[in-house]
With several copies, the nearest count.
Chain A
């Protein structure tokens, strides 16, 4: 039987990929950020996930507004990264697990989630950067799939409103959890939620950060995630910033973990680029 070991929420901004490419991890600016990860990696080393289900949002690499999914689930044997237009190195591909993916898709559709199934899917920085953060020993630009886990990318629309509500995202996460737990083959599964926390890239409010709201979100993600489902999309934009709504990816992740979790590691650092960065690792009870 598949077993959910727990979840990791992490920031995914592209400049982290740039810092990794340039080896800046110990620079004064970057050190506090990269220092947040060793405890998470220690836990992963002990709990040995076989599969990572990565909840993220595509930023215009695989999806455009001609066909914009609310929820899209990968079902490919391999996922490639690609040029996003601003010069990040393209990282090595990721091995999928189509059988596991199709099990998720069957279960999610039976549970009345109207997902898009993707037998080809390019994964952008929001998928790639978190993998690089969790697995820094993998040479990111080497050939083939050197990553120690198979992956299922799940993309959530946090780009174009109407975005799915916090309540719907939390339910989606719960359904992903049910789907995984009903998989008959043995596998340790890690859930990742990427993006956030508070940030806003555009408009007069560019640079907006809301530490109080971020800390409240981190608290509630641990002890009472349902409390976060009361916010409307507009409230989330107001409180977390236009791009801070990527918090939804964390909420999907949290939903998959089940009622109770034990915090493994929690850290928060402002600023990384224009963003309040955070890392939260939660062991499933």
Chain B
């Protein structure tokens, strides 16, 4: 079904993506809990292994790369909890994905100011 939903620059988070990304999203969901965030920071590899991340997911986490994380089945709402560990917000994420600096990304939004 996913194939029918192609929108440029957009990945619809549907069943096939959710299935692929389940372990990764579950790991990110766990970051609601401070103790888990700290455990992750203490030993990232062990934490990823505990959640059964596949190599693609593990690499995407290691690279802190949002596009890779999305490719690996991540959902942006859960990924935001991962980004939050490093103090990154949705504008940092937007900048990284669009290959801009954060300033340029924010400026592009400000251009549309009402």
Contacts and interface: CB of A to CB of B under 8 A. Distances in A.
Interface in B73-114: 75-81, 83-85, 87, 89-91, 93-94, 97-98, 105, 108-110, 112-114
Contacts of B70: 202-203
A209 B112 contact: yes
Interface string A255-282: 0000000000000111101100000000
B14 A162 contact: yes
A65 B18 contact: yes
B32 A242 contact: no
B57 interface: no
B80 A160 contact: no
B81 A60 contact: yes
A203 to B, nearest CB: 5
Contacts of A241: 10
A106 B4 CA distance: 13
A160 B33 CA distance: 22
A50 interface: no
Interface string A101-114: 11101100000000
Interface in A203-236: 203-209, 211, 234
- For this complex, into which size category does the number of interface residues on chain B fall? 35 or more
B26 interface: yes
A204 B22 contact: no
A146 B10 CA distance: 40
A242 B15 contact: no
A211 B112 contact: yes
Nearest to B94: A206
Contact of B89 (A85, A101, A208, A273): A273
Contacts of B112: 209, 211, 270-271
* Majority-rule SS of B interface residues: helix
B11 interface: yes
A40 to B, nearest CB: 18
A59 interface: yes
A86 B81 contact: yes
A164 interface: no
Contacts of B5: 161, 234, 237
B93 A206 contact: yes
10 contacts: A32-B114, A60-B29, A85-B84, A202-B66, A203-B70, A204-B97, A234-B4, A234-B7, A242-B76, A243-B76
Given A15-B90, A64-B29, A200-B10, 16 more contacts: A32-B114, A59-B77, A60-B78, A85-B84, A86-B80, A162-B15, A201-B90, A202-B79, A204-B8, A204-B9, A206-B98, A208-B9, A211-B114, A270-B114, A271-B113, A274-B91
Interface of A: 13, 15, 32, 59-61, 64-66, 75, 77, 82-87, 98-99, 101-103, 105-106, 117, 119, 159-162, 200-209, 211, 234, 237-238, 241-243, 268-271, 273-274
